[in-house]
Structure 1
Amino acid sequence: MPLRPGAVAIAVTVALALAGCAAKVGPPPASTLQTPAAWRTAPGPGQSAAPVEREWWQAFGDPVLSALVAKALEHNGDLRIARARVAQYRALVGVAAAGQKPNVIVDTAPSRARQLASNGAPYVTNVYQAEIQASYEVDLWGRLAAATDAATATYQSEQANADAVALSIAATVASGYLNLRGLDAQLALTEATLKLREESRDLAKRQFDVGYSSRLEWLQAQAEYQTTAEQVPQLKRSIFEQENALAVLTGGNPGPIPRGAELGQLEPPPVPAGLPSELLRRRPDIARAEYNLVAANANLQATRDQLLPSFKLTAVGGIQSLKMHDFLNAPTALWRLTGAIAAPVFEGGRVQSQTDSVAAQRDQLTYAYENAVRTAFSETDNSLGAIYQLKEQAVQNDARRATAAETLRIAHNRYRNGYASYLEELDAQRTLYSADVGRLQLRTRILVASVDLYRAMGGGWVARP
């Protein structure tokens, strides 16, 4: 039978009286985050600025690099795990949203029983029954909606996490490839230098054989040749390991990596432009921290409202008959309508303790969000400063190399004309080789620093609404 109006009025009065029993929640922590107006290191007169492109790695102009990044974004194992987690949490949003919708169950239960009558005679009864049950919880206080909001924010957090993983993998592949090309260039320089050392050793040996120079000079030339030769297998081992690391990053087995442009042909892309405030909308790790905070606030509301009464409507309807013929043609209709109000009266402070726990978690995520923003500011400023200082260092390296090359020319002429010992030329060769190695390493570091800057700027990720 339907609920009487008087009973409904009493139930609503009791519910409103219990509505003030929600768990108490403390205020969120005051934010101490301040966004700087500009970066400490701004692009100088010799530096151009460009917007942060989504596929920023193509700015290096190497099709092989672009192909490796594309392959990694499709096949990398960590990224595939992150995307599977996105699918998992997308499904959990549907689970949470289902709580706000009616629940309908259909049940058919035909039965046959042999029983004893009062006189002791057995008899058989058949009961044919079909029933449909619908229930719906009225979300008067918004608890179910808050649970859905929390699931949605968690799903968005996982989306941002997948974007952060994709950005990290793209940057790691780009850095690994650029380091590989730097090692290739160092190996080529070392092998070319080894040939020169071999020529110098042979010349010193001939001059020693004819008595023009001492055995000391010949042994020093031999030692310098052996020192250079020792670096070749070291560089080859580093190249071998770098290739294997890149192959695994791209979702394959350890193996060789194709090469594209030479190190000298690769140019760092323009320095990305953007204010610190724009970083808050572009970096996926900041978005992830923000979504986690939104989910914590929604969870806090859902947990707090557990002390409030819940309203549930249940409607049951069905048909029943003792004979199959009557069940198909003229069954007896049955129905029931129930309105239930449930509210906790005493639970030993469990809900309040849960609320305090979730509130503390919300505070932690607030601080985590601020830390993520500050870390982003620091990484971006460091990357801008690194590019600027490395380019300044490269200018000094060019000057040092020019001086070393001129010193070697003079020392070689003095030695060839008999005005100086071979030690002067040997020392000049070492200085020039050191400058050349430093030049290649600086060029590689500038290219990798550009990758770090795009990673810090949140390149490769577009904020979702």
Structure 2
Amino acid sequence: MKRNIITLAITALMLSSCGIYTKYQPATTVPEDLFGAAETVSDTIHNIAKLNWRQLFVDPHLQSLIEQGLRNNTDLQSAHWRVEEARASLSAARLAYLPSFAFSPQGTVSSFDKGKAGQSYSLPITSSWEIDIFGRLTNANRRAKALYIQSQEYELAVKTQLIANLANTYYTLLMLDAQLAISEETEVKWKESVRVMQALKNAGQGNEAGLAQTEATYYSICTTVLDLKEQIRQAENSLCLMLGETPQFIRRGTLDGQVLPQDLSVGIPLQLLANRPDVRSSELALAQAFYTTNEARSAFYPSITLSGSAGWTNGVGEVVMNPSKLLLSAVGSLTQPLFNKGQNIARLKIAKAQQEEAKLSFTQTLLNAGAEVNNALKQNQTARDKSDLYRRQISSLQTAVTSTQLLMQHGNSTYLEVLTAQQTLLTAQLTQVSNRFQEIQGIINLYQALGGGREE
């Protein structure tokens, strides 16, 4: 008995060294300087990703849209059902440890040489139980668990993507609203300019070329207004699709009224392993590949199955008797692969290759995450730096418009110069609005890149 115990212990140790029972060890390091030369001080306490999305997006209209999207978005609902599928697969993998039972009644009617027919029957309950000594069921269960957790991370990834898309589209709508207001105001001014140029021409103080140029600019502004209205409708429709709604008007605030955090601390790169759902999902895919490799290794070892049956029968050998008797049987079987070793070797090579692919994919996902953080930081910082320059530019252009108007009144300038100054001012104002959107979008992209939006 003691010898058998020692033999089993040595066998278990050898199998463990072969990797059949080893567990996947989660990553604890990330590439050095993953965020690049980040311009924001990094620490473990301050991290924009730790903010609840309601703390980041304080606009009540946007909050309402996000809440509706989290309830109705079809992609998010599909991700939830994917979690339920993985949960069922995990339950099936765990139940594989238990013996299986089946009720298989049988009946026979037989007659020899036209003699009286004999009827026999059996009412057995059969069972089968695979003893998981060599880790096949264990690795299948661990792989199913990794798949289940991965499906949860996928659902979180869909959720964070949805929040970011809703916010980006909402702020796009606000940007278009602001540009439309500027363009419509300018359209009114240029319509008046066309009237003035026509009056000057009639009075002999203007010419046909100046009038034609003014009219052309006015028509260009009119087409810009129509384009902006179309883009607004498209943005509203995009929001409705994400909300699971038919096309309709979207209630919203104004771009000038938006308040977002100015402190954009990014934390430390290592936090991406816990915060970003796609990084977590990629690592769990690597864990699944790891357990698939272990499972392929276990195929080289025998499988041990215990089976048996218990029930009632009135057939014993060639004799039919009544009343029925109790029938018991028990069988133990050991199946050792002999002629499929080549197939098992091929499966193991495939599993190892897939594991290496998953490892490279995980590394690339980390690198992509680091680049996204750096890009978002640079986008926001550049927009902030431009903001003051645009403010000064517009102030100068407003002064230029006023000055040319005064000069025209004293005969030192033409009305075309006034119109040119106004056109330049319009372009700068539209660009300033676009830059404000770029600044906000940088914050949203950074929030998503760091894994923000996981919590309700």
TM-score if structure 2 supplies the norm length? 0.88
- CA offset at residue 410 of structure 1? 0.0
Superposed, which structure 2 residues align to 1:432-447 within 5 Å? 432-447=425-440
1:256-275 to 2 correspondences below 5 Å: 256-273=248-265, 274-275=267-268
| 1:440-455 matches, cutoff 5 A | 440-455=433-448
Pick from 377, 380, 405: which aligns with 1:412? 405
Counterpart position of 1:34 = 31
Match of 1:428 among 421, 430, 453: 421
Do the aligned residues in 1 keep the contact of 2:79 with 2:155 (CA within 8 Å)?
A: yes
Is 1:77 aligned to residue 74 of structure 2? Answer: yes
Deviations 1:377-428 (A, max 9, x none): 1101111111111100111111111111100110011112222111211111
CA RMSD for the aligned pairs? 3.0
Alignment of 1:186-197 (within 5 A): 186-197=179-190
Identity %: 25
Specify every segment of 5 or more residues in structure 2 that has no aligned partner in the other structure, as ranges: none
- Mapped pair 1:210 → 2:194: no
- CA gap of 1:308–1:114, structure 2 versus 1, over 3 A, is closer
Q: Distance in 2 between matches of 1:143 and 1:113?
A: 43
Partner of 1:103: 100
C-alpha distance in 2 between matches for 1:312 and 1:346 = 20
Give the whole-Å Cα distance in 1 for the aligned partners of 2:57 and 2:92: 45
Look up the match of 1:353: 346
Cα deviation code 1:218-262 (max 9, x no counterpart): 222222211211111111111111111111111122x12322211
Partners of 1:23 and 1:307 within 8 A in 2: no
- Give the match for residue 60 of structure 1: 57
Q: Take 1:195 and 1:121, find their aligned partners in 2: how far apart are those partners?
A: 111
Contact kept in structure 2, 1:114 and 1:122, CA below 8 Å? no
Post-superposition CA distance 1:304-353 (Å, at most 9, x none): 1101011111121111237xxxx9x9641111111111111122511011
What amino acid does structure 2 have at the position aligned with 1:281? A
Residue 290 of structure 1 aligns to a residue whose secondary structure is helix
Residues 270 and 50 (structure 1), Cα distance of their counterparts in 2 relative to 1, 3 Å cut = farther
Q: CA deviation at 1:43?
A: 3.5
Paired with 1:121 and 1:346, the residues of 2 have a C-alpha distance of 48
Distance 1:113 1:244, change over 3 A: same
Partner of 2:233: 240
2-structure distance, mates of 1:430, 1:251: 41
Residue range with higher mean Cα deviation, 284-293 or 156-165: 156-165
State the Cα distance separating 1:50 from its structure 2 match: 5.4
- What aligned pairs does 1:288-299 form with structure 2 within 5 A after superposition? 288-299=281-292
1:58-98 CA-to-partner distances (Å, cap 9, x unmatched) read 52321111121222222222222222111111111122222
Give SS of 1:341's match. strand
- Partner letter of residue 131 of structure 1? P
**Is structure 2 residue 115 aligned with structure 1 residue 135?**
no
State whether residues 23 and 352 of structure 1, in contact with CA within 8 Å, keep that contact through their aligned partners in structure 2: no
Under a length normalisation based on structure 1, what TM-score does the superposition of the two structures give? 0.87
Aligned ranges 1:354-369 → 2 under 5 Å: 354-369=347-362
Query: 2:299 aligns to what SS in structure 1?
Result: helix
